[in-house]
Chain A
């Protein structure tokens, strides 16, 4: 499993200069106020793994949003990774023309990135509730690819489709009718039904007996040979007439039978069509489906930050709005499914119509239709063809069509004229045959020729039916076997997965009466898996879905539990994950429990935890320190973008090195930072009176405010020593002024001498309050107040001053 040794980012999003996260496979806790660039770290990692940043994906936001806007065109934006397996180490960069380059082109690296695609590597606050507030179908859609069930669902869908398709095709093919028609022809030609080849040869042999050919028919080859041998040129005209009329009768007879089925199917289609269309509101809503779906996406992507509807601009709770949209979409999804079923019915009718039209068109290609005496026959067949085309046009109308589907009575195919035509054709054949009664060869030729064709067609129909039935049974059996396997596997997975979600949720929310959280597969009315719902017990009452009762904080907690369970269930390659500001809506109890959950249940994982909440950072720091996590604070400056705050010791060394090398670049700012951080500690220890500020603003106090607060306190409480020994007035005068001007935009140009004076004053002030004895190294503090001697002391007691309570 892969852990991270180092991540180095430069020129991506808010990170301008190089930002190195030296991890050495350890977990990392980062504090950063809003706007200090926490999200830039997450965005960079997301871009590295996914080649995009999902929350920036949109029409107007492209690859240009990846590069930091202050870097020059010649500089590449880049993110480098050192992994626990150094074969995967790489640097991915994007240049000014948005060309992406990766330094590692090995197969191992390619496979690693590929396998990482389905892993849960980062979670942002905005994505916390995505799975929880998703529709049942979206949840299924989201889980299936991760557990490889998309392919399963696809295969299941194929097997089901074929099982249903064969059932419909067999019904539409009307095999028994087709076979019966051919048996009728055989009866007319050979005087009896034929069910086997041998029976055919036996009866055909009897048919040719009067010709005294002294030959038996033992194969179809024999039969065709005899046909050829008894063919007479002088009979060809009569023979063509008989064949033409037989084709009219046989073709139309078959289509008439199909026509009855078509009329029935059209009626069956017409009723649900109007059932669906009569609810105009629903139909109109169905046309709004894409708008609603897009609206839901907008809300889920957190594009709208506040609780209001972006369309009507009214105040509206976002979670409630999401829920309402989901309900509307889900009710329309059912309607959409009804529309699709209707489409399937239309497809069956179209398929039969097409077969009938093909047969009619084939018949119309007979050359004898060009003869004058056949004009009326041609007209009747064309009228019949038009009526088939009428139904075809109706079927093409969908439920949104302005012109409604015609009533069945108006498009019913009339077979009256065609039936007369069939009888007429049969009569012509009979008359020709009788007129040539003495022509034995013609009689036998006509019957044998027709019988061979009919029997072959019969055999083909029989075979087609047999094969289709076999295929239908096969797909039905395979489908039944497959869904059993799929459901067993899915239930097994969901049980395990639900167990983990339940465990993590309960660890963060003990004694809250929400129990037995379960992911439950749901089926549609056709018994097909169509979603996953989340159910839970609340005061022993089973409820679903969670958004119906749980508060936003609890839903977030559930979302977090889902992510953590996903990490355990699905991450097979990576042993790390990043959580970006995920506890924003949690109260104090949840935050502590959340941190303990990470430490107790995910101790094997490397975690990168980002937060802007100072309280949580303090809680998390004390827990994390014990587990050897790395703890960092982020800061942001216009010059460098995102960077880590330098530890005090390092800051002091930097300042002194700058003095040595006479480098004043940023020196005033460094001294001010050092002074501010030391003064905050002094102010805290002497309990300086400063105006109240909220946590996140408390850190922003400037040096003069802190100096005034400390001065006021010590003047009042330590008049004999600290009041007289401190140099705060000097600091509040020119050196501080220099410090402030040096750290902000100003026309003032500081020089090294000014800065040296300022630095000496800061050090002098710190020395007054700080005991540097090796075993002590602490500031004087009210905590160490000596009530007997009325003194304030450091921890070891060496540094002490008078102090009036």
Chain B
């Protein structure tokens, strides 16, 4: 394919290379997504589990802070 034409892999790699520059995006959520992508675990189930776990950590902080 011509050098000027981006392959699917190029599109994904460019997206992750510049993901922190996307306005209105939450850093912690992006950290989670970047980690999953770099571990080749970017699936719906893994994302949901990671976000649930992120949520649980934050809610536990409230519980702990109240103990």
A interface residues, Cβ below 8 angstroms from B: 144, 147-152, 155, 158, 161-162, 220-221, 224, 452, 456, 459-460, 463-464, 467-468, 470-471, 473-478, 481-482, 485-486, 488-489, 492-493, 496, 569-570, 572
B residues near A474, Cβ cutoff 8 Å? 24-26, 29-30
Asked if residues B62 and A463 are in contact (CB atoms below 8 Å), the reply is: yes
A residues near B24, Cβ cutoff 8 Å? 473-474, 476-477
Contact mask for chain B residues 5-31; partner A; CB cutoff 8 A; 1 contact, 0 none: 111111110110001001111101110
Closest to B44 in A: A158
Give residues of chain B (23-45) contacting chain A, Cβ–Cβ below 8 Å. 23-26, 28-30, 33, 42-44
Asked if residues A473 and B25 are in contact (CB atoms below 8 Å), the reply is: yes
The answer for the CA separation of A584 and B49 in the assembled complex, in Å, is 56
Asked if residues B2 and A489 are in contact (CB atoms below 8 Å), the reply is: no
A residues near B23, Cβ cutoff 8 Å? 477
Closest to A482 in B: B15
Asked if residues A471 and B29 are in contact (CB atoms below 8 Å), the reply is: yes
Asked if residues B30 and A492 are in contact (CB atoms below 8 Å), the reply is: no
How many of B's residues come within 8 Å of A, CB to CB? 37
B residues near A482, Cβ cutoff 8 Å? 15
Asked if residues A478 and B25 are in contact (CB atoms below 8 Å), the reply is: yes
B residues near A158, Cβ cutoff 8 Å? 42-44, 47
Q: Is the interface of B mostly helix, strand, loop or mixed?
A: helix
Asked if residues A478 and B10 are in contact (CB atoms below 8 Å), the reply is: no
Asked if residues B1 and A572 are in contact (CB atoms below 8 Å), the reply is: yes
Closest to A150 in B: B8
Given contacts A460-B62, A477-B25, contact A155 B5 (CB under 8 A): no
A143 to chain B, nearest CB (A): 10
A residues near B11, Cβ cutoff 8 Å? 149, 152, 485-486, 489
Asked if residues A485 and B14 are in contact (CB atoms below 8 Å), the reply is: yes
B residues near A468, Cβ cutoff 8 Å? 55
B residues near A467, Cβ cutoff 8 Å? 54-55, 58
The answer for the CA separation of A620 and B38 in the assembled complex, in Å, is 52
B residues near A488, Cβ cutoff 8 Å? 6
Asked if residues B29 and A148 are in contact (CB atoms below 8 Å), the reply is: no
Enumerate 18 A-B pairs (CB-CB under 8 Å) in ascending A order. A147-B1, A152-B12, A456-B62, A460-B59, A460-B62, A460-B63, A463-B59, A464-B59, A468-B55, A470-B28, A475-B29, A477-B23, A477-B25, A478-B33, A489-B7, A492-B4, A492-B6, A570-B1
Asked if residues B1 and A151 are in contact (CB atoms below 8 Å), the reply is: no
The answer for the CA separation of A24 and B29 in the assembled complex, in Å, is 57
Contact mask for chain B residues 47-67; partner A; CB cutoff 8 A; 1 contact, 0 none: 100010011001100110111
- Known interface pairs A463-B59, A474-B24; 15 further A-B residue pairs with C-beta atoms within 8 A, sorted by A's residue number: A152-B11, A161-B44, A460-B59, A460-B63, A464-B55, A470-B28, A470-B29, A474-B29, A477-B22, A477-B23, A481-B15, A486-B11, A489-B8, A493-B5, A572-B1
A residues near B5, Cβ cutoff 8 Å? 489, 492-493, 496, 569
Asked if residues B12 and A151 are in contact (CB atoms below 8 Å), the reply is: yes
B residues near A155, Cβ cutoff 8 Å? 12, 15, 42
Partner of A452, one of B10, B15, B65, B66: B66
Asked if residues A473 and B66 are in contact (CB atoms below 8 Å), the reply is: no
The answer for the CA separation of A742 and B23 in the assembled complex, in Å, is 86
Closest to B60 in A: A460
A residues near B29, Cβ cutoff 8 Å? 470-471, 474-475
B6 to chain A, nearest CB (A): 4
Asked if residues A471 and B8 are in contact (CB atoms below 8 Å), the reply is: no
B64 to chain A, nearest CB (A): 10
The answer for the CA separation of A488 and B8 in the assembled complex, in Å, is 11
A540 to chain B, nearest CB (A): 29
A residues near B63, Cβ cutoff 8 Å? 456, 460
Closest to B55 in A: A467
Given contacts A148-B9, A155-B42, A158-B42, contact A220 B47 (CB under 8 A): no
